[in-house]
């Protein structure tokens, strides 16, 4: 196979950093470029960092010299740059997630040697849909819980439009929670904040149903899988669900497992007598958030705002089909670690941080 010369956007993110490490281990990846604001990622992974910003325009904020160098050399692009905050402002989401993707596609079209463009998306493009979600499904009119979901959906529409003339594939990633071995969390997200709120007794309820599936994946598994899908496992026109699949955990069990972790790793927590959050319907949860915003303490208002940005997704239960992705990864010997073990290690890390 010819060597891969890879360009990575969003290399300093929670997925970008371990992805660079995985790419650097591959003998067929001869050079890695990372578009970043600083050279912090270069020291650990031998990456050539080029200053730029995907939101600036089709030149990605690169100097003229870097545009010429990259466009003439790269064979592979992994587009990981995005604003992944569930509470992101609509304008910022549009500029970063939609505009950044459109700019990236315009740049890729200028690269004569380009063979692979793997864009990282999210299973949350399914928005308020329910039921079984297939990998090739995208368009729907169910609506979205937040601007992050809506912007990534719009970005995927742009990616689909270019699949006819560019070698583009999409990897939709479920919520990446931490390392499966030691629970390390590179960048805390909404789900981590929710666990901390539970620990502090500031999450009295969540929306949904006890049987609602909660889908998440380990960051180290995501890095291994993306490195493969972007190279030997790549197939243009594909959309893969990199998710828990059949290993999802039901909401009720996840709450019980979390409470068990609190008791196991911090026995003194038992004395606080904090109750397990109640699972309620969406109108009840929304009423709680509204009441907390209007009459709650500053701490409770902040807690409710965190929960309101993403928790309503639990009220729209869905199961993500990962048939195609699982087949590609299984053939490569890449298997996801058990979800319950990963969750337990991540919660243990969060408890240690709360000490």
Mean of pLDDT values over 243-260: 96
E strands, the chain, in order: 4-9, 29-36, 48-51, 76-79, 116-122, 131-133, 168-173, 175-176, 205-207, 213-214, 216-217, 239-242, 249-250, 278-280, 318-320
Nearest one of 175, 170, 155 to 324, comparing CA atoms: 170
Q: Are residues 16 and 97 in the same domain?
A: yes
What average pLDDT is seen over the chain?
A: 93
Structure tokens at 267: 């026995």
pLDDT band at 284 (very low <50, low <70, confident <90, very high): very high
Q: Are residues 137 and 239 in the same domain?
A: yes
Asked if the model's pLDDT at residue 43 lies above 60, the reply is no
pLDDT digits (tens, 9 = 90+) for 79-128: 999 999 999 999 999 999 999 999 999 999 999 999 999 999 999 999 99
Between 36-40, 111-115, 249-253, 334-338, the lowest mean confidence (pLDDT) is in 36-40
Q: Are residues 163 and 102 in the same domain?
A: yes
Q: Are residues 43 and 59 in the same domain?
A: yes
Which tops the pLDDT comparison, 268 or 112?
112
Mean of pLDDT values over 136-160: 97
- HSE of 313 in the Cβ direction (CA atoms, 13 Å)? 28
Q: Is 352 inside a domain boundary? A: no
Structure tokens at 235: 């197939």
Tell me how far apart the alpha carbons of residues 101 and 95 are, in angstroms, rounded to a whole number. Answer: 9
Q: Are residues 222 and 281 in the same domain?
A: no
CB 8 within 8 A of CB 80: yes
Q: Are residues 131 and 259 in the same domain?
A: no
Q: Is 290 inside a domain boundary? A: yes
Q: Are residues 157 and 273 in the same domain?
A: no
Q: How many helices (H) and strands (E) does the chain have?
A: 13, 15
Q: Is 222 inside a domain boundary? A: yes
Whichever domain contains 24, its CATH number is 3.40.50.720
Tell me how far apart the alpha carbons of residues 315 and 142 are, in angstroms, rounded to a whole number. Answer: 13
Q: Which residues contact 55 (CB under 8 A, 6 or more apart)?
A: 61, 95, 96, 99, 100, 103
Mean of pLDDT values over 221-250: 97
Q: Is 342 inside a domain boundary? A: no
Q: Is 348 inside a domain boundary? A: no
pTM: predicted TM-score of the whole model, two decimal places: 0.94
Q: Are residues 135 and 33 in the same domain?
A: yes
pLDDT digits (tens, 9 = 90+) for 53-67: 999 999 999 999 999
Q: Is 349 inside a domain boundary? A: no
Q: Are residues 281 and 172 in the same domain?
A: no
Q: Are residues 198 and 229 in the same domain?
A: no
Question: If 0-12 CB within 10 Å is exposed, 13-18 middle and 19+ buried, where does residue 339 land?
Answer: buried
Structure tokens at 230: 């972007």
Provide the domain count of the chain. Answer: 2
What pLDDT is recorded for position 38?
63
CA dihedral angle for residue 325, residue 14, residue 204, residue 245, rounded to 10 degrees: 10
Q: Are residues 61 and 151 in the same domain?
A: yes
What is the residue range of 310's domain? 190-210+250-315
Q: Give the highest mean pLDDT range of 255-264, 265-274, 299-308.
A: 255-264
Asked if the model's pLDDT at residue 272 lies above 90, the reply is no
Q: Is 347 inside a domain boundary? A: no
43: DSSP letter: H
Tell me how far apart the alpha carbons of residues 323 and 320 are, in angstroms, rounded to a whole number. Answer: 9
Q: Are residues 168 and 277 in the same domain?
A: no
Asked if the model's pLDDT at residue 144 lies above 80, the reply is yes
Q: Is 351 inside a domain boundary? A: no
């Amino acid at each position: 196979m010819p060597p891969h010369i890879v360009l990575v956007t969003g290399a300093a993110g929670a997925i970008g950093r371990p992805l660079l490490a995985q790419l650097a281990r591959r003998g067929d990846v001869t050079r890695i470029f990372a578009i970043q604001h600083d050279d912090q990622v270069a020291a650990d992974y031998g990456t050539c960092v080029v200053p730029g910003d995907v939101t600036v325009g089709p030149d990605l904020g690169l100097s003229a010299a870097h545009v010429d160098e990259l466009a003439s050399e790269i064979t592979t692009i992994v587009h990981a740059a995005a604003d992944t905050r569930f509470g992101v402002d609509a304008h910022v989401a549009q500029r970063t997630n939609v505009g950044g993707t459109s700019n990236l596609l315009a740049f890729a079209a200028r690269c004569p040697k380009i063979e692979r463009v793997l864009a990282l998306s999210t299973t949350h493009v399914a928005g308020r849909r329910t039921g079984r979600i297939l990998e090739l499904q995208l368009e729907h009119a169910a609506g979205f819980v937040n601007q992050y979901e809506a912007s990534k959906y719009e970005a995927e529409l742009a990616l689909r439009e270019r699949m006819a003339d560019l070698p583009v594939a999409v990897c939709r990633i479920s919520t990446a929670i931490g390392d499966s071995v030691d629970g390390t969390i590179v960048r805390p997200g909404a789900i981590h904040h929710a666990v901390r709120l539970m620990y502090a007794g500031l999450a009295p309820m969540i929306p949904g149903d006890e049987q609602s599936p909660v889908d998440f994946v380990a960051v180290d598994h995501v890095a291994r899988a993306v490195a493969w899908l972007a190279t030997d496992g790549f197939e243009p026109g594909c959309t893969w669900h990199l998710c828990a699949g059949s290993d999802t955990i039901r909401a009720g069990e996840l709450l019980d497992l979390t409470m068990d972790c609190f008791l196991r790793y911090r026995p003194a927590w038992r004395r606080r007598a904090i109750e397990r959050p109640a699972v309620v319907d969406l109108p009840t949860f929304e009423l709680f958030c509204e009441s907390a915003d209007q009459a709650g303490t500053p701490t409770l208002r902040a807690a409710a705002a965190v929960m309101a940005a993403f928790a309503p997704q639990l009220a729209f239960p869905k199961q993500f089909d990962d048939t195609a992705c699982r087949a590609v990864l299984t053939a490569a010997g890449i298997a996801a670690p058990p979800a319950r073990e990963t969750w337990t290690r991540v919660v243990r890390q969060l408890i240690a941080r709360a000490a």
